[in-house]
Amino acid sequence: MGKFSGVLLASDFDNTLIYTEEALRTGVPVPPLSAENRAALEYFMAEGGAFSIATGRALAAFIRYADMVPMNAPGVVCNGAGLYDFAAGAYLETAMLDDPARRRGQAVLDRFLPVAVEAYHIDNVIHAVRPNEITRRHEHLTKVGVTEAPSLLDVPLPLGKLLFEADHAVLEAVRDYLAAQGWAEDYELIFSQDTLLEMTARGADKGGMVRRLAARLGISMDHMYCVGDEANDLSMLTIAAEGFAPANCAEAVRSSGATIVSDARESALADVVAILDRRY
């Protein structure tokens, strides 16, 4: 038992725990976890706390980095489509897209020719239709090569997420098209970056899956804290006892009322643990 027994801390990975934006944009290597963040998380867990990653990445795109991160709780992957036990090497819960979602995704590709899509299969494979420059930068960042397919209809089910990739204005038009067809209400449609529009099953977001994780661990929502920098983190930041965000966060996160800590290029998670250390 320790001072953080019964406390859950869930953190986004990219640009929150580790600043990866430069690697995405320029091709430099992803930096290591800072010594300050590592020491803080190890202290938090040694004092009984449960630490989890909540990432928009597919399992295939995060598993190569998992050994960099000290964690002792299952993690949220695919932006909330899966809860994965890294110790057991197995999914605990999933919320998958169905065949109509795949067909609707192909309708988007047929209408918007500049758009590429990555389709995240549950079996640790990332398929891509019409990959573009954004896809290739994403491949470099994740260190996972995509398996190309001529059409989404050729990509096998089950799928955890569709990731549309194009300039922001084009993706806004994609979102509006899905809404105009009456399809948007069936899915979570969230910008994880300006050039990335995520589509997951309704209810499959970080907030919903972190809530399920807390229930599995027997942890009250009054003692669940989350950290994130982008719009796809809002669902967990707003249900947490307190949401935190690094100083490099998107404006939507800053205006949500999250507590701002230091930049992800510094030691944002160490700041969060220091705040909790004073609280408990």
Convert the pLDDT of each residue in 149-165 to its tens digit.
999 999 999 999 999 99
Q: How confident is the model at residue 1 (pLDDT cuts 50, 70, 90)?
A: confident
pLDDT digits (tens, 9 = 90+) for 39-90: 999 999 999 999 999 999 989 889 889 999 999 999 999 999 999 999 999 9
What tokens does 93 get?
């819960």
Unique residue bearing structure tokens 């950290």: 227
Start-to-end C-alpha separation, the chain:
13
Nearest to 141, CA basis, from 22, 24, 14: 24
CA 109 to chain centre: 23
CA separation, residue 8 to residues 93, 178, 223 (Å): 18, 36, 6
Beta partners for 147?
127
In the chain, which segments carry CATH 3.30.1240.10? Answer: 99-201
3-state DSSP assignment of residue 92: strand
Token pair in block for residue 207:
């907030």
Closest CA to 159 of 211, 206, 105: 105
Query: What's the rounded Cα separation, in Å, for the pair 72 and 158?
Result: 28
| Domain 8-90+223-279 of CATH type 3.90.1150.10 | no
What type of residue is 219? I
Please give the C-alpha separations between residue 108 and each of 65, 86, 168, in angstroms, as whole numbers. Answer: 32, 34, 15
Global pTM value: 0.88
Rounded to an integer, the average pLDDT of 195-199 is 94
Question: 181: which 2 tokens?
Answer: 């067809």
The reported pLDDT for the residue numbered 91 is 94
Residue 140 reports pLDDT greater than 80 = no
pLDDT of residue 193: 86
CATH of domain 99-201: 3.30.1240.10
Q: Which residues contact 139 (CB under 8 A, 6 or more apart)?
A: 145, 146
Which of the four pLDDT bands, split at 50, 70 and 90, describes residue 27?
Answer: confident
The Cβ-side half-sphere exposure at 76, using a 13 Å CA radius, reads 32
Kindly report, as residue ranges, where domains of CATH 3.40.50.1000 are found in the chain: 8-90+223-279
